[in-house]
Amino acid sequence: MPRRYDPERRQRIIDAAIRVVGEKGIGGLSHRSAAAEADVPLGSTTYHFRTLDELLVAALRQANEGFAKAVAASGTFEDPHADLAAELAGLLGDWLAGERTGVELEYELYLAALRRPALRPVAAEWCQGLTGILAPRTDPVTARALVALMDGICLQVLLTGGTYDEAYAREMLGRLLAPARGRPGA
């Protein structure tokens, strides 16, 4: 029997892995569980992803696109006179108000890098990418601090089950940006 050409199989496996992690956590993900969820033979998962870490890297890369895409698509950074703190606080609010499972999944995969060194470069890419988007509006050091603060605010909301306080986020982001005021792009 000839092999069936299936160009979308790799993507279906990544999507399945994300669903498995969303339902069962990182500990519930295996090649077998991803294959079952994607409705593909077990050999397909090991063909496309030799190790579970390779599959997790692909899942983390895809999951990380959520907030970065929202930031890039917002147009916030095109207007140098826009209130950056207010814009970022609003974007965080929109992101946290969306599909909460997706946000939790992104952070679960992101934090998995603590125990899985193979994921660390992908987590770092996310931070560097967002820093790169913010840096033209402030400076690289302040941009890194903004990313760290936004991460911290999101983690607090997720871990405590609390509600997002946009006014607080705007105030704290504004405090980080205050020393940058007066510099070009700030």
Q: What is the pLDDT of residue 14?
A: 94
Q: pTM, whole model, 2 decimals?
A: 0.78
Are 96 and 160 contacting, i.e. CB atoms less than 8 angstroms apart? no
Catalogue all structural domains in the chain, each as residue range(s) with its CATH number: 1-50 (1.10.10.60), 64-180 (1.10.357.10)
Q: What is the pLDDT of residue 37?
A: 95
DSSP secondary structure of the chain: -PPPP-TTHHHHHHHHHHHHHHHH-GGG--HHHHHHHHTS-HHHHHHH-SSHHHHHHHHHHHHHHHHHHHHHHT-GGG-TTS-HHHHHHHHHHHHHHS-HHHHHHHHHHHHGGGT-GGGHHHHHHHHHHHHHHHGGGS-HHHHHHHHHHHHHHHHHHHHHT----HHHHHHHHHHHHGGGTTSTT-
Q: What is the pLDDT of residue 112?
A: 84
Nearest to 64 by CA among 146, 154, 143: 154
Whole-angstrom Cα distance, residue 99 to residue 77? 24
Tokens of 17: 């892995």
Q: What is the pLDDT of residue 80?
A: 79
Q: What is the pLDDT of residue 1?
A: 44
Are 116 and 74 contacting, i.e. CB atoms less than 8 angstroms apart? no
Tokens of 11: 């993507």
Residue ranges for the chain with pLDDT beneath 50: 1-2, 186
| Residues 6 or more apart whose Cβ sits within 8 Å of residue 13 | 34, 35, 38, 40, 44, 45, 48, 49, 55
Reported as a single tens digit per residue, the pLDDT across 23-59 is 898 889 999 999 999 999 999 999 999 999 999 889 8
Nearest to 56 by CA among 102, 111, 96, 134: 111
